[in-house]
Amino acid sequence: MAPSLRKAGLFVAWTFGISWLLAGAFWAFGGKWNTPVAMAVGVAYMFVPMAVAIGVQKLACHEPLRGPLGISFRLNRWFAIAWLLPPLLAFAALGVSLLLPSVEYSATMEGMFERYRSLLSPEKLAEMRGQAAKLPVHPIWLALALGLVAGVTINAVAGFGEELGWRGFLQRELGDLGFWRSSLLIGAIWGAWHAPLILQGHNYPQHPVAGAFLMVLFCVLLAPILSYVRLKARSVLAAAVLHGTLNGTAGIALLVVRGGSDLLVGVTGLAGLLVLGLADAALWAYDRFAAKAPRSDA
């Protein structure tokens, strides 16, 4: 086995082992999703790929971190693309969601309140409604602003915890497979890595088992976009910004949607998968016919 594949296998084995042990311990001790403790576990989970990448890079391979793993603070236009693309994907997923059967537009966000009904007391839900009604602008625009700010600050830090592993270490080790093969393989691994959290209710609380499989498809379709931004920006930090901003703005696709299940609507539902599929096709066309320095050559 080639050294790069051995290092990739070592990274994947340790990342899955530590992450799944963490999620399993949370479940075994009676942890419930959508709680403050679950949020802390989720954040810790995101930093496991970074910790393992650093460990393999320094302890097992005795190699430097910054250059080989793509840590560069030199800004370029791809950082702006990484920041602004996620809300476009979220609004596109919103539009596609509204085309699906039994899904309708709700300016008063009744669909969102219905999704919170099982998580909040009637008093808290009524308080939420009242606060939303008093806002000077529609909550969707506030969500956009907050998501963009979080995307380049706290969410980017958490996103870096994942991206240093997936798009920093693993993308480098699997680079000889070619852009598309390596990106899609990393996406499948990345999606499967989420399984313990999905099964406990993350992203697909209505359908956790089916959601675990859908999350793999979501990550497979998102991975080429993250990989391309990381390569064009020459920095894994750009991928962290894209990842963090997507996490911060994904809720936009659900705020004014009523009806449909978590498998259908939103960025991580069928609507989002269709949008990501179109985005991948646009990426392929751009790189093949318009890019000055094509990267998706295989």
Question: pLDDT by residue (tens digit) across 131-174?
Answer: 888 889 999 999 999 999 999 999 999 999 999 999 999 999 99
Q: How far is 66 from 154, CA to CA, in rounded Å? A: 21
Domain spans, the chain: 3-289
DSSP, res 138: -
State pTM to two decimals. Answer: 0.94
DSSP 3-state of 273: helix
Spatial contact of 203 and 215, defined as CB atoms under 8 Å apart = yes
Q: From start to end of 205-297, where are the E strands?
A: 257-258
Phi/psi of residue 257, each to 5°?
Answer: -110, 130
What are the tens digits of pLDDT across the range 54-99?
999 877 666 666 667 889 999 999 999 999 999 999 999 999 999 9
